[in-house]
Amino acid sequence: MRAVVVTSFGGPEVVAVVETAVPEPAARQVRIKVSGAALNPVDAGVRAGVFGGAGKALGLGWDVAGTVDATGVATGWTVGDEVVALSYGTAKPFGTHAEYVIVDADAVAKAPASVDAVHAATIPLNALTAAQALDLLALEPGQSLLVSGAAGAVGGYAVQLAAHRGISVTGLARAADEEFVRSLGADRFVSGAVAAGSVDAVLDAAVLGESALEWVRDGGTYVGVIPQAHPASVRGVRTDAVEVSADGARLAELVALVDAGVLTARVAETYALDEAAKAHARLAEGGLRGRLVLVP
């Protein structure tokens, strides 16, 4: 099979497509024939060496949508099932940017019925990150939340999920994105200055750090999206950062929300697997609304 890897760190030019044996699932694992796999900033981080791992080939790709192609024992899945899954890890030999991928059975959920596999491939990492970040915030209906990067992939899901829970959401994004962010369910929109101490909590999907912390009231909550990189607590504000975990049951709940029209899966562009380096270059340019998706 073909798979996307990096064997040295750098820019998009280090991304390579290699030929390797089709992997075999062990007990409680499934093999998925990939139909679509999103490209995320974490993949660019692996490529650039942010997470280490020098001296060995590192596979890229965390999100997958496709068809169960083989199973180990005790999986609960059947060959032919249409699924989505999260393949967690920054130091794996092969990721979801491949023709086939092995994942743990409990990381898998049934694919949404309302969108195609390319759109479904944008759900696992970003929607799980948003949902698990909201869990850390532990807000009650009626409390106020500011989501930075509200037009982005994680931020957009966070706005929709929070609004669905009855939380009062302010979306922070570029002025040109106001109509879109409000369409996601934001009660308020800002593109510039935010009053200090004006919200109960911040979900900092734009990675603004200490400046975003200032917007939280005394005793409120701040959650970032880069593990262990959140700012130190001040004024009694609890600070934390989400580290996404694979959770097939939770992913199934999010898929159901996609099918119910609560969550919107967004695709910016698609690339063939052999064009992975071009996709990385496009990601580096920025300005995307939705994810890039590789299609084997």
For the chain, the structural domain boundaries read 2-123+265-295, 126-241
Q: With 90 as the cut, is the pLDDT of residue 212 above it?
A: yes
Segment 99-123 mean pLDDT: 98
Please provide the average confidence, as pLDDT, over all residues in the chain. Answer: 97
End-to-end CA distance of the chain: 10
Using an 8 Å Cβ cutoff, are 26 and 39 in contact? no
Is the confidence at residue 109, as pLDDT, over 90?
yes
Is 170 within 8 Å of 199 (Cβ atoms)? Answer: yes
Q: What is the mean pLDDT of residues 167-188?
A: 97
Tell me whether domains 2-123+265-295 and 126-241 share a fold: no
- Assigned token pair, 171: 């979306």
**How far is the C-alpha of 96 from the C-alpha of 62, rounded, in Å?**
6
Q: What is the mean pLDDT of residues 32-54?
A: 95
Asked if 162 and 138 count as a contact pair (C-beta separation under 8 A), the reply is: no
- State the CATH architecture for 126-241: 3-Layer(aba) Sandwich (3.40)
The 10s digit of each residue's pLDDT in 118-150 is 999 999 999 999 999 999 999 999 999 999 999
d(CA 295, CA 276): 10
| CA distance linking residue 65 with residue 230, whole number of Å | 31
Neighbours of 193 (CB within 10 A): 7
Q: In the structure encoding, which two tokens stand for residue 161, read together?
A: 């999920």
Q: What are the pLDDT digits (tens) for 241-273?
A: 999 999 999 999 999 999 999 999 999 999 999
Residue appearing with tokens 């992939």 = 153
DSSP characters over 36-83: EEEE-HHHHHHHHTTT--TTS-EE---EEEEEEEEE-SS----TT-EE
Per-residue pLDDT at 229 exceeds 90: no
- With cut-offs at 50, 70 and 90, classify the pLDDT of residue 287: confident
Contact 79, 107 (CB under 8 A): no
Q: How confident is residue 226, by pLDDT bands cut at 50, 70 and 90?
A: very high
Residue 54 has pLDDT above 90, yes or no: no
In CATH terms, the superfamily for domain 2-123+265-295 is Medium-chain alcohol dehydrogenases, catalytic domain (3.90.180.10)
Q: Are 4 and 273 in contact (CB under 8 A)?
A: yes
Q: Which two tokens stand for residue 117?
A: 């596999």
